[in-house]
Chain A
Amino acid sequence: MEIFGINIAVLIASLMVASVPIMLAAIGELVVEKAGVLNLGVEGMMIMGAICGFITAVHTGSPMVGFLGGAAGAMALSLVFILLTQVFLANQVATGLALTLFGLGLSSLLGQGYNGIKPPRLGDVPFGPLENIPFFGRVLFTHDIMVYASIAIVAAVWAVLKYSRAGLILRAVGESHDAAHALGYKVVRIRILAILFGAAMAGLGGAYVSLVRVPQWTDGITAGAGWIALAIVVFASWKPWRVLIGAYLFGGITVLQLNLQAAGARIPVEYLSMSPYLITILVLVIMSSGRGRASLNAPAALGQNFHASR
Chain B
Amino acid sequence: MLVLEKRPTPSKGWAWGTPFLAVALTMIAGGAMFALLGKDPVEAIRTIFWDPLFNAQFASYSRPQLLVKAAPLILIAIGLSLGFRAGIWNIGAEGQYIMGAVFGAAAGLALYPAETRWIFPLMIVAGAFGGFLWAMIPAILKTKFRTNEILVSLLLVYVAENILASMALGALRNPEGGGFPGSRNLSQWPAAANKELIAGTGLHWGVVAAVIAVIAAYVLLQRHILGFQIKLSGQAPRAARFAGVKPETLVVLCMGLSGALAGLAGVFEVAGPAGQISIDFNQGYGFTAIIVAFLGRLHPVGILLAGLLMALTYIGGELAQFMLGLPSAAIQAFQGMLLFFLLAVDVLSNYRIRLASFGREAR
Query: Chain B residues near A293 (CB, 8 Å)?
Result: 146
A163 proximal to B (CB < 8 A): no
A145 proximal to B (CB < 8 A): no
A261 proximal to B (CB < 8 A): no
Nearest B-chain residue to A286, judged by Cβ: B145
* A interface residues, tally (CB under 8 Å): 47
The distance in angstroms between the C-alpha atoms of A224 and B161, with both chains bound, is 12
The distance in angstroms between the C-alpha atoms of A228 and B344, with both chains bound, is 28
Which of B89, B154, B335, B346 is in CB contact (< 8 Å) with A227?
B154
Which of B6, B169, B287, B343 is in CB contact (< 8 Å) with A95?
B343
Known: A101-B335, A105-B335. Contact between A91 and B343, CB under 8 A?
Answer: yes
Known: A101-B287, A227-B155. Contact between A89 and B147, CB under 8 A?
Answer: no
Decide: B162 and A270 in contact? CB cutoff 8 A: yes
**A interface, CB within 8 angstroms of B:** 40, 80, 83-84, 88-91, 93-95, 97-98, 101-106, 108-109, 112, 219, 223-224, 227-228, 230-231, 234, 268, 270-271, 273-274, 277-278, 280-281, 284-285, 288-289, 293, 295, 307, 309
- Contacts across chains A and B counted by CB atoms under 8 Å: 135
B159 proximal to A (CB < 8 A): yes
The distance in angstroms between the C-alpha atoms of A280 and B166, with both chains bound, is 21
Decide: A270 and B166 in contact? CB cutoff 8 A: yes
Decide: B4 and A307 in contact? CB cutoff 8 A: yes
Decide: B151 and A234 in contact? CB cutoff 8 A: yes
Query: Chain B residues near A95 (CB, 8 Å)?
Result: 340, 343
Query: Chain A residues near B146 (CB, 8 Å)?
Result: 288-289, 293, 295
The 10 A-B residue pairs with the shortest CB-CB distance, nearest first, are A102-B336, A105-B332, A105-B333, A289-B145, A270-B166, A108-B329, A274-B162, A90-B343, A98-B339, A109-B329
The distance in angstroms between the C-alpha atoms of A270 and B170, with both chains bound, is 10
Which of A109, A270, A307 is in CB contact (< 8 Å) with B327?
A109
Query: Chain B residues near A90 (CB, 8 Å)?
Result: 343-344, 346-347
| 15 sampled A-B residue pairs with Cβ under 8 A | A84-B340, A84-B343, A89-B4, A90-B344, A95-B343, A105-B333, A109-B332, A112-B329, A227-B154, A270-B162, A274-B162, A277-B155, A281-B152, A284-B151, A307-B6
Known: A285-B145, A307-B6. Contact between A280 and B165, CB under 8 A?
Answer: no
Is the contact region of chain A dominated by helix, strand, or loop, or is it mixed? helix
The distance in angstroms between the C-alpha atoms of A289 and B151, with both chains bound, is 15
Decide: B351 and A102 in contact? CB cutoff 8 A: no
B186-210, CB under 8 A of A: which get 1 and which 0? 0000000000000000000000000
Decide: A88 and B159 in contact? CB cutoff 8 A: no
B148, B331, B343: most-surrounded residue (chain A CB, <10 A): B343
Nearest chain A CB to B264's CB is how many angstroms away?
23
Known: A89-B4, A105-B332, A108-B332. Contact between A94 and B150, CB under 8 A?
Answer: no
Query: Chain B residues near A84 (CB, 8 Å)?
Result: 340, 343-344
B321 proximal to A (CB < 8 A): no
Nearest chain A CB to B230's CB is how many angstroms away?
17
Decide: A112 and B327 in contact? CB cutoff 8 A: yes
The distance in angstroms between the C-alpha atoms of A234 and B148, with both chains bound, is 9
Nearest B-chain residue to A106, judged by Cβ: B333
Nearest chain B CB to A3's CB is how many angstroms away?
25
Within 8 A of A (CB), among B337-356: 337, 339-340, 343-344, 346-347, 350-351
B305 proximal to A (CB < 8 A): no
B159-173, CB under 8 A of A: which get 1 and which 0? 100110110011000
Decide: B336 and A105 in contact? CB cutoff 8 A: yes
B105 proximal to A (CB < 8 A): no
Within 8 A of A (CB), among B1-18: 4, 6
B23 proximal to A (CB < 8 A): no
Known: A93-B150, A284-B151, A293-B146. Contact between A274 and B158, CB under 8 A?
Answer: yes
Nearest B-chain residue to A228, judged by Cβ: B155
* B interface residues, tally (CB under 8 Å): 49
B291 proximal to A (CB < 8 A): yes
Query: Chain B residues near A102 (CB, 8 Å)?
Result: 333, 336-337, 339-340
Nearest B-chain residue to A90, judged by Cβ: B343
Which of A101, A219, A227 is in CB contact (< 8 Å) with B290?
A101
B309 proximal to A (CB < 8 A): no
Supplied contacts A112-B327, A277-B156, 11 more A-B pairs, CB within 8 Å = A88-B343, A93-B150, A94-B339, A101-B335, A105-B332, A273-B162, A274-B159, A281-B137, A288-B148, A293-B146, A307-B4
Decide: A93 and B89 in contact? CB cutoff 8 A: yes
Nearest A-chain residue to B153, judged by Cβ: A281
Query: Chain A residues near B37 (CB, 8 Å)?
Result: 109
Which of B151, B165, B330, B346 is in CB contact (< 8 Å) with A88?
B346
B27 proximal to A (CB < 8 A): no
The distance in angstroms between the C-alpha atoms of A284 and B334, with both chains bound, is 34
The distance in angstroms between the C-alpha atoms of A277 and B153, with both chains bound, is 11
The distance in angstroms between the C-alpha atoms of A112 and B336, with both chains bound, is 18
Query: Chain A residues near B150 (CB, 8 Å)?
Result: 40, 93
Query: Chain A residues near B154 (CB, 8 Å)?
Result: 224, 227
Nearest chain A CB to B27's CB is how many angstroms away?
16
Known: A227-B151, A288-B148. Contact between A309 and B340, CB under 8 A?
Answer: no
Query: Chain B residues near A227 (CB, 8 Å)?
Result: 151, 154-155
Decide: B156 and A281 in contact? CB cutoff 8 A: yes
Decide: A270 and B333 in contact? CB cutoff 8 A: no
Decide: A289 and B147 in contact? CB cutoff 8 A: yes
Decide: B343 and A224 in contact? CB cutoff 8 A: no
Query: Chain B residues near A224 (CB, 8 Å)?
Result: 154-155, 157-158
Nearest chain A CB to B6's CB is how many angstroms away?
7
Decide: B145 and A309 in contact? CB cutoff 8 A: no
Which of B331, B332, B334, B347 is in CB contact (< 8 Å) with A104?
B332
Decide: A89 and B350 in contact? CB cutoff 8 A: yes
The distance in angstroms between the C-alpha atoms of A84 and B278, with both chains bound, is 38
Query: Chain B residues near A271 (CB, 8 Å)?
Result: 162, 166
B144 proximal to A (CB < 8 A): yes
The distance in angstroms between the C-alpha atoms of A281 and B149, with both chains bound, is 10
